[in-house]
A and B are shown apart, each in its own frame.
Chain A
Amino acid sequence: MFCLAVLKDTVAVHPTNFGAPVDDALIAEINKKYANRVLHDVGLCICVFDLSEAGEGKVRYGDGFLWYKVVFRLVVFRPFTSEVILAKVKSSDEDSIRLTLGFFDDIYIPTAYLPQPTAFDPNERAHFWLPDSTLTGASALLDTPVAERMYIDQGEALRVRVEADEFCDDEPGPPRAAEGVTSRREPTRPPYIVCCSIAEQGLGPVAWWNGSGQADDGGDEIGEG
């Protein structure tokens, strides 16, 4: 889920920080720049792990900063494909379930990765799963008694498998005078999206599996998506 990324950057230390130990000042500067940012194809940066190398501080013409060339290691959130993680349901809609880790919210389970047969209940605003059912089609599923449905409610802890991740770099290119204001595009995509699946035995709300934990042989035919 977390890993270390080695990065190289040139860091400026302001004269007010010359009194502090140099490594502390550098780490503070790097944290200021990278913490809680998504780096393209790297992941969500958490904080500095340590400094690996740093050159001499140089003063350039024009400002009083000391510029250091630094190689450092960052703690980065980037779960690998097929990793199993635990996350809470943030919200549900017709197309997907959105999960949250607290510090990262752009985790989605598309309906294709839900255990079958499944349907979205618009009254409850939640997806539900009908174990041991052969019904197909949303309308048939929505006619079933509520007691048989297994809902995936908001705030529930889910065990999910990471299927894919995607980085989007939506830089707002140069403004085109001819198009004017009409060229406003759809709301910006999040820079980093993790796509997950619960269509597998053992995945899904933690509570589904903890109750029948020892009887794992009994549940073999369920949850094959």
Chain B
Amino acid sequence: MEVVNPRAALLSNYEVLSLLRELESENLLRTKAALRIKREEETGIGTGGSLPLGGNPHLEASENLRTIEVEAIGYLSAEYLPTANQTEEGISRLVKSLASCNLTKAEKLQIVNLAPTIPVELYVIVEELEDRFGDQLDDILENIRSSTTSARETAQTNGINGQVEHSADTVQVIQDGQWDEDADAIYEEDIYDDTGAGNGVEGDLEMDED
């Protein structure tokens, strides 16, 4: 094992939650398929053949993965976090509207993760808030509010699993014939990409160096 880069990019809570939910639904599908095959075997000819045709019992998620998956989904969809009420469109709209504010990458990430709705919450995240954004404060808060409230209305109908799939553009795949690009694994990555607006990042954040 070799660590190439311990912090290549930052992820927002929403991205992690969608990834985990996707993983969970895949798992569910797989267990269902395995169960179906088992039942067919039992009710069918019953030759006692233990080889399932399509199902790979060893590809079942390991205990560790299941544990962290369930616990992390539980935390990220807790009611004191805004993540469950966010949507991809809402977040990208919010980030675009924040682009003019000259916030650092870390500040933007925390705004997306925590979606502060009252000034005191924003104080904690943004340094010297009053000097930098004294007059823009209400605009920022309004933008944040609109990015989550609109989500709340559509959250039930839209669901996390119905998200738009992007094509993977940042991944280098060497054997293109064999390795399908993980089309659904890239969400909003361009927002926190290394080439992005990282010019204002403060030194103590020790982020990516490449």
Contacts and interface: CB of A to CB of B under 8 A. Distances in A.
Interface string A68-86: 0001010110101111101
Given A36-B65, A46-B20, A209-B121, A3 B178 contact: no
Interface stretch (B93-101, B142-150, B157-165, B179-187): B179-187
A193 interface: no
B35 interface: no
B68 A46 contact: yes
A75 B6 CA distance: 10
Nearest to A42: B6
Contacts of A6: 3-5, 8
Interface in A98-128: 101-103
Contacts of A202: 120-121, 123-124
A4 to B, nearest CB: 5
Contacts of B56: 16-17, 19-20, 25
Interface in A49-74: 49-55, 71, 73
Given A35-B62, A54-B174, A80-B205, A200 B124 contact: yes
Given A20-B56, A86-B80, A202-B124, A102 B71 contact: yes
A50 B62 contact: no
A214 B138 CA distance: 12
Contact of A52 (B7, B12, B172, B180): B172
Interface stretch (B36-44, B84-92, B111-119): B111-119
Contact residues of A: prevailing secondary structure: mixed
A135 interface: no
A214 B118 CA distance: 7
Nearest to B204: A81
A36 B64 contact: yes
Contacts of B172: 52-53
Interface of B: 1-13, 15-16, 19-20, 23, 54, 56-62, 64-65, 67-69, 71-72, 74-75, 78, 80-81, 106, 110, 113-114, 118-121, 123-125, 168, 171-175, 178-180, 182, 185-186, 204-207
